[in-house]
């Protein structure tokens, strides 16, 4: 079966972004006078909940507090702006092998897609500094958090990407970093390469077609290697 599409997750997969997200959340909380602070261990647990607003709501439930939808949306919007500032500062770079593999796919004319639970605002803030000003145009389909009714591990984001690109699950390979992402892709029967990130290391990746530290280790994963997974 030929490889006809390569689908990337974003946070933790294209780049190690989650620490910048954590810092942006904490700054937004501080500015709003909330008195909350998410440490690394707390944030690692909270990442089990996909979606920034969903994460805030879950956190409030665990500490016995509430927030109106408007308050939560406002906090999250401010956090996104702060995240964009951190990205623009140039401290975030692609994970090993990501830029190489994207370039190889583009050169071969292989459709690229993004399936993410993050917002389009976060994605747009990330792609240009990470790759190039026109990087968003490199992808034949982009499905983000606001495009779906249910986020990962629900498979809707992958179902929408497959439909947008016009390929079947057995013609695509997904690149993910988390268990929630793996579950979402696997529910569509998409073979998935998992490259655990700082925050997802140690999760259960049973069912991954391939598990490796990154796209350059222990071997450089190229299109031939990915096609062999089909």
Residues with pLDDT less than 70, the chain: 1
The pLDDT of residue 10: 97
Q: Is 11 a catalytic residue?
A: yes
The pLDDT of residue 66: 86
The pLDDT of residue 131: 96
Mean pLDDT across the chain, nearest whole number? 95
The pLDDT of residue 59: 96
Q: Is 134 a catalytic residue?
A: no
The pLDDT of residue 91: 84
pLDDT in tens, 182-203: 999 999 999 999 999 999 999 9
Rounded to whole angstroms, the Cα distance separating 46 from 52 reads 10
How would you write the chain as a 3-class SS string? CCCCEEEECCECCCECCHHHHHHHHHHHHHHHCCCCCCCHHHHHHHCCCCCHHHHHHHHHHHCCCCCCHHHHHHHHHHHHHHHHHHHHCCCCCECCCHHHHHHHHHHHCCCEEEECCCCHHHHHHHHHHHCCCCHHHHCCEEECHHHCCCCCCCCHHHHHHHHHHCCCHHHEEEEECCHHHHHHHHHCCCEEEECCCCCCCCCCCCCCCEECCECCECCCCCHHHHHCCC
**Which of 11, 140, 154, 222 is the catalytic position?**
11
């Amino acid at each position: 079966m030929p490889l006809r599409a390569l689908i990337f997750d974003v946070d933790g997969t294209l780049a190690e972004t989650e620490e910048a997200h954590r810092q942006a959340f904490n700054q937004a909380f501080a500015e709003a006078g909330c008195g909350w602070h998410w440490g690394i261990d707390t944030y690692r647990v909270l990442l089990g909940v996909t979606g920034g607003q969903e994460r805030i709501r879950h956190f409030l439930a665990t500490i016995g507090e509430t927030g109106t939808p408007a308050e939560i949306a406002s906090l999250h919007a401010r956090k996104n702006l702060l995240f964009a500032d951190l990205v623009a500062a140039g401290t975030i770079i692609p994970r090993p092998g990501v830029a190489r593999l994207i370039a190889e796919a583009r050169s071969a004319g292989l459709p690229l897609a993004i399936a993410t639970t993050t917002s389009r605002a976060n994605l747009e803030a990330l792609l240009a500094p990470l790759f190039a000003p026109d990087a968003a145009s490199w992808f034949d389909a982009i499905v983000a958090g606001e495009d779906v009714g249910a986020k990962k591990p629900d498979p809707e984001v992958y179902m929408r990407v497959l439909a947008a690109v016009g390929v079947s699950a057995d013609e695509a390979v997904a690149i993910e970093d988390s268990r929630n992402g793996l579950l979402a892709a696997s529910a569509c029967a998409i073979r998935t390469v998992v490259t655990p990130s700082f925050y997802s290391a140690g999760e259960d990746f049973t069912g991954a077609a391939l598990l490796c530290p990154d796209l350059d280790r222990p071997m450089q994963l190229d299109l031939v290697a990915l096609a062999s997974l089909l």
